[in-house]
């Protein structure tokens, strides 16, 4: 049962990644031949990695802001 839950979550993550690529126009490969296909797959991988890096940076920024707000509240309460 636990494996099924893990697989279902992984499937949702894959579907989300596919949707993100489709939204950015990477749903059809306009290139022809194996070389074009490989280039297109490489572009999709780069796009996904950039998106992941952006999400990580955004999460770090949110966490930094949360800590700053918490720190400011402590200083206000102490004063």
10 Å Cβ neighbour count for 1? 5
Give the pLDDT confidence of 35-54 residue by residue, as tens digits. 888 888 888 889 889 989 99
Checking if the pLDDT of 56 tops 90, the result is yes
Range(s) of the domain holding residue 50: 2-78
Give the pLDDT confidence of 15-37 residue by residue, as tens digits. 777 777 777 776 776 778 888 88
| Whole-number pLDDT of residue 40 | 82
**Alpha helix locations (H) across the chain?**
2-23, 33-78
Name the nearest CA neighbour of 26 among 11, 40, 12, 36: 40
Are 28 and 51 spatial neighbours (Cβ–Cβ below 8 Å)?
A: no
Number of domains in the chain: 1
The alpha carbon dihedral of 68, 74, 77, 79 has a sign of: negative
Within 8 A by CB and 6+ apart from 31, the residues are 37, 39, 40
């Amino acid at each position: 049962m636990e494996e099924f839950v893990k697989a279902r979550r992984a499937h949702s993550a894959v579907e989300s990644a596919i949707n993100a690529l489709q939204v950015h126009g990477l749903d059809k490969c306009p290139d022809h031949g194996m070389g074009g296909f490989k280039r297109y797959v490489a572009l999709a991988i780069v796009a996904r990695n950039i998106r992941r890096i952006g999400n990580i940076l955004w999460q770090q920024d949110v966490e930094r802001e949360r800590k700053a707000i918490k720190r400011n509240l402590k200083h206000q309460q102490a004063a």
